[in-house]
Structure 1
């Protein structure tokens, strides 16, 4: 039944991807001719010839048939721009992306291990808030350009993968470490531990069981993160000029080369589905018979002492926002280009002489508020799906699409813009939250104390309200809050790629993208946006620590 459900979802996704040229509501022939004939306006005869060549005049069923025939031949059709088969180029790009994702996953696990063991929540949040392309640029400038220790671009051996995998793996490891720490804390407070200790079981055996319980939660998240890395490395691939599948998809979208976009999206969906299946098998292997009925985790009841740091960080964000709102973020002064921080411009100026304090302050509203709304919507969907549905096929497919690829689909249907970017991020953010909620719910529903409660007549509603929800909602909410800075960056980064907010929007991610070319001569153009994201991350971690 599970296999049939996954097959049906993949079939529906394949049909949807095949009909993207129709769903776009625009004339693909016009885009193709403009790409081929940039020196003159296309006429009606040329448009008709292109429609016949591409099979666009055959209607939805004819277009879908042509798309499926390309899949059967494994060439994924022919590029609308170059006329070459998409399959060979797609295979080469996939090999690069899968290799990069493997190295990045190794880095993520190395970063996650100390964070999960020591519970450095604020450190994890700040690392998760660092944008991949900023880490990539810093690594490129320091280790490749200045020190000359590693290659600056291209893909030719392991040495070319070092810097890109670090840039991708550090933020992913921070998220994974937060999930792992929550899982370890929850497993270490289960009632069965006291029973085992009273029975005289060795401490090593008890700790092994705790780690096995925690690993059942982490395994599903690790599989989803690896799948997301394959298609979500667009910015890093651009910085290091890597011929990966994410960069190929965005290039195809910008060129209106629909067969390239279709092939990339479908392959990424398939990879995500396979990764989800492997994650589920990992949970089944770790939990054994308990997997089918649920499992055994109780929510930690301990709380952390209150800290004065959280109000200070929140006050800092509010102060910067208020100070920036009193200034004009759009005022251009070419005589004040790239000026360092001063009394007149506390955060300095950018390449157009615009006041950075004003832009960071206004960006707090457009970035943080929108990210908060997107995160809240994704949390609600993820909790509902994880608690109600047992299946993971839809979660696997949704999580397989990184925000960039999801935005390509949304922009194809409704056009680029802030709304499209928000929808794209929410459409993929709910999936890991749903997987996390499902794992915790499975582990809670078969715990020994719930079995005892059922035996004395406890109703399903009582068990849900008193045991399942308290064990699931706080942990998943913490995971959503920790992802808040990443959501803010994802929404803004889509604008940089032309799929979301457009210049001169003062969103923080766009400020980073605008400042990248000047990071060596004017580091403040990226320092203050990074500080804003890091502060937001630390605040999010503080809020997450109080959700018990």
Structure 2
């Protein structure tokens, strides 16, 4: 762990990282995407302050009320304030995205680095296992796992994590294959560095740039997958204010009470758009670094 932390510190303080940060600030897509995500994070953190009503409090006298000054985004079929539920839903969606991407990244980074560094039968076993997972559509496999585990926020995170790690493993393996025979790796072996030190001090930090870009892009995809599971009843369960569940609740009223599904759907769109902008901007920056 000390070798990994030391290698990660060297990665953060390197000249290439500083150059990347300069390019990040100059990229318009990054600025827009960062502003959207900062707004999402701010909303999630200060949800109790920003929310005008209790997100699960029912008021049947005001059910399906259209947007007004009292209820800016209207109310749902149980009279719950949609704005409050969208605000609190940002917490659930952001929590799921962060936890799922973190778990998937760690699993994929570990397996991919091990596979690329050792090669041989270890590489064959890990890559064939990866191919098995990638042979199924992500959402379909997540649905199967979620159905086996049962509904709930914890099971939702586990189900999505279970199907999201293979791409990280592929990226980590590709980088490890490229650099495992570099001169500085050979020098580390020559001076007696252990395998664990070489992997965590040298290989893992080098695999981080492409993996972090993919992780940023996956944040939006994870929010969409979680919303899809919630929409189908296999994700977060009512009355928890989760965006996918809210869209599902409003599908019966979409032709007349359009606001019930529209506003949580727009929240999903905005969050996914923000993460995709940051990911695309970082990918453009990596191209500039490669051309430099």
TM-score (structure 1 length as normaliser): 0.40
Matched, 1:506 2:232: no
> Is the CA contact 2:100–2:157 (under 8 Å) kept in the aligned structure 1?
yes
Name the structure 1 match of 2:161: 426
Distance 1:493 1:454 in 2: 44
Per the TM alignment, residue 366 of structure 1 is displaced from its structure 2 partner at its CA by 1.9
| Structure-2 separation of matches of 1:319 and 1:376 | 21
- The aligned counterpart of 1:363 is 89
Report 1:176-325 matches (<5 A).
Answer: 302-303=20-21, 304-306=23-25, 308-309=31-32, 312-317=35-40, 318-319=42-43, 321-322=47-48, 325=51
Equivalence for 1:399: 134
Q: C-alpha distance in 2, partners of 1:433/1:334?
A: 47
Aligned mates of 1:308, 1:403 — CA distance in 2: 30
The answer to whether the 8 Å contact 1:410/1:420 transfers is yes
Q: Encode CA deviations 1:317-350: one digit per residue, 9 max, x unaligned.
A: 2247345545211223334333332221122222
Question: Are the counterparts in 2 of residues 299 and 470 from structure 1 also a CA contact under 8 Å?
Answer: no
Distance 1:383 1:407, change over 3 A: same
Classify 1:350/1:480 alpha carbon distance in 2 versus 1 (closer, same or farther; 3 Å).
same
Q: Name structure 1 gaps, 5 residues minimum.
A: 1-297
**Structure 1 residues 367, 348: closer, same or farther in 2, change over 3 A?**
same
Aligned to 2:118: none
- The alignment covers a number of residue pairs equal to 245
**Does structure 1 residue 494 correspond to structure 2 residue 229?**
yes
Q: Which residue does the alignment assign to 2:275?
A: 540
Residues 6-405 of structure 1: pairs in structure 2 closer than 5 A? 302-303=20-21, 304-306=23-25, 308-309=31-32, 312-317=35-40, 318-319=42-43, 321-322=47-48, 325-389=51-115, 390-391=123-124, 392-401=127-136, 402-405=138-141
- Asked if the contact 1:323–1:358 (Cα under 8 Å) also holds between the matched residues in 2, the reply is no
- In structure 1, distance between residues paired with 2:80 and 2:105: 36
CA contact (8 A) 2:223 2:272 kept: no
After superposition, residues 455-470 of structure 1 pair within 5 angstroms as 457-459=187-189, 468-470=203-205
Residues 463, 499 of structure 1: alpha-carbon distance in 2 compared, 3 angstrom cutoff: same
Equivalent residues of 1:403, 1:424 under 8 A apart: no
- In structure 2, the CA distance between the partners of 1:453 and 1:312, relative to structure 1 (3 Å rule), is closer
CA distance in 2, matches of 1:507, 1:476: 28
The alpha-carbon deviation at position 480 of structure 1 amounts to 1.5
Q: Is the 8 A contact 2:64 2:74 kept in 1?
A: yes
Name the counterpart of 1:201.
Answer: none
- Three-state SS of the structure 1 residue aligned to 2:97 is helix
Distance in 1, matches of 2:162 and 2:132, equals 11
Change (3 A) 1:323 1:509: farther
CA distance 1:310–1:490, shift in 2 (3 Å):
closer
Distance in 2, matches of 1:482 and 1:470, equals 19
Residue 311 of structure 1 deviates from its aligned partner by 5.5
RMSD: 3.3
For residue 219 of structure 2, the aligned residue among 484, 488, 494 is 484
Matched with 1:183 is none
Q: 1:221 maps to what in 2? A: none
Partner of 2:177: 442
Aligned to 1:126: none
- Which residue number in structure 1 is paired with residue 262 of structure 2? 527
Provide the rounded CA distance (Å) in 2 between the counterparts of 1:375 and 1:442: 23
Q: CA 1:468 to 1:301, structure 2 compared with 1: closer, same or farther past 3 Å? A: farther
Give the TM-score normalised by structure 2.
0.69
Q: Which has the higher contact order (CA 8 A, sep 6+)?
A: 2
In 1, Cα distance between equivalents of 2:49 and 2:74: 14
- Unpaired runs of 5+ residues, structure 2, are 1-15, 116-122, 287-292
Larger-Rg structure: 1
CA contact (8 A) 1:386 1:437 kept: yes
